[in-house]
Amino acid sequence: MVPTRSSAAYRAIRPSLTSKKGQYFSADAIIASFIFMMALSLLTAHWFALRAQAEAQSVSLLDDANRISDLLIMTGNPPNWYTNPVMARSAGFGLNGTRGGTLNHTMLLQAQAFINSGPNLYTSSMQLMALPLDYYIQINATSLDAAAPPYPPIAIGRAPAHPTDRVQVYRGVLIPVIDNGVTPPHTYYYYGIMTVTLWTNKSNI
């Protein structure tokens, strides 16, 4: 005889059926919670690993940028290294016979014309400076002499284009410019900032 809902036999077995259903639910919840916690732990660990990698990469880029900026304020070897970077020993715009930070105006203009003329000299200059990334050098300067003409902005290299990573360092510079159009020749002194940018638009470097 099958017990009906109103029978004593059905009421006797109902608690056990309810208990088993609750046990199944509790086990499923525990397993689901465990899987969720494992996934969350893996995701968190992956995020921290990516963050550490990005921070290490940024530190490396900053070290390279500081190294290059220190190099560029010194005199290159040879001074006109930008005409043939493959045969040069070192890059630099420093005015020969001066302390680091005083730049050669003529060399800046020539380097801008040579390196920006095409990819070959630019790539060779990267290899000379041992750079794995693109670089962009900007110099903006002004004179305290009201009679001095405006200094032309200098831009050498490749401007950042949708960079995935970028670092910048700054150096104060002095640029003497001789005006031979007057007698005797007059020297204007321009004070400015050299900005060295290293950048990449690649996802992995």
What pTM, to 2 d.p., does this model score? 0.70
**What does the alpha-carbon distance between residue 108 and residue 72 come to, in Å, rounded to a whole number?**
11
Comparing 59-63, 135-139, 158-162, which segment has the lowest mean pLDDT?
59-63
Report DSSP letters for 61-91, one per residue: HHHHHHHHHHHHTSEEESTTGGG-GGG-SEE
Instruction: Look at the block and give the residue holding tokens 């921290």.
Output: 48
pLDDT score recorded for residue 96 = 86
Whether residue 190 is predicted with pLDDT greater than 70 in this model: the reply is: yes
Residue of 50 and 61 predicted with greater confidence:
61
Q: Are the C-beta atoms of 112 and 75 separated by less than 8 Å?
A: no
Q: Report phi then psi at 196, rounded to 5.
A: -110, 120
Tell me which DSSP letter residue 58 carries.
Answer: H
Query: Which are the contacts of 154, defined by CB distance < 8 A and separation ≥ 6?
Result: 108, 109, 112, 137, 138, 139, 140
Q: Are the C-beta atoms of 198 and 59 separated by less than 8 Å?
A: no
Whole-number average pLDDT of the chain: 82
Whether residue 89 is predicted with pLDDT greater than 90 in this model: the reply is: yes
Angle (CA) 78-62-98 rounded to 5° is 35
Q: What percent of the chain has pLDDT over 70?
A: 73
